[in-house]
Amino acid sequence: MNNHLPNGWQKMIPKFLGDDFFSNFDQINFQNVGTKVNIYENGNELLCVFALPGLKLEDVDIYTYERTLEVRGTIHSNFNGYRLIQEEFPQGPFKRTIELPFPVREDKMDAAFQRGLLVIHLHRLIRPNQLRQKVHIKNLDDE
């Protein structure tokens, strides 16, 4: 039994899949493929733990706004005198934006880095009750 594909099968792929099939992959952002994160909740607090081996603290920025956490930086994994032959964790610039389960305080945020883990400690934003405003309902029947 002959299991060979016909000669020139590579030329037939665009005809089968469409000429622009592979151009669609240009828009995919592979930057975050290796930037893994675990999120833990304890009442009004969150711990966001990023696995970032090779991160240099001077090359990382952390931002929060309401329910969004953004971490940007650069991962360096150079071993002078050695040539990279296999790469399974990312190197270079990264950006990761996370949707949080609740709004967080911008003024109460801590971060620490140890053994390749970036741990960000966030606190829930609790708005005072006096900010609640009663909505006046118009009675359109009286008009």
Instruction: Tell me the pLDDT of the chain (143 aa) as tens digits.
Output: 455 555 666 666 666 666 666 555 544 444 445 689 999 999 999 999 999 988 888 889 999 999 999 999 998 887 888 988 888 877 889 999 999 999 999 999 999 999 989 999 999 998 776 456 677 888 888 76
42 domain-assigned: yes
Residue 141 lies in a domain: no
- The answer to whether residue 92 sits within a structural domain is yes
Chain centroid to Cα 102, Å, comes to 17
Please give the Cα distance from 91 to 38 (Å, whole number): 20
Residue 68: inside a domain: yes
**How far, in Å, are 37, 49, 83, 106, 120 from residue 62 at the CA level?**
14, 13, 32, 11, 9
Q: What is the pTM of this model?
A: 0.65
Assigned domain for 111 exists = yes
Number of domains within the chain: 1
CA atoms of 67 and 101, how far apart (whole Å): 7
Q: How far apart are CA 132 and CA 126, in angstroms?
A: 12
- Find the CATH number of the domain harbouring 111: 2.60.40.790
Task: Let me know if residue 142 belongs to a domain.
Answer: no
Q: Give a yes or no: residue 69 inside a domain.
A: yes
The residues, any chain, with a CB within 8 Å of residue 5's CB and separated by 6 or more, are none
Report yes or no on 5 lying in a domain: no
Domain that holds residue 55: 34-126
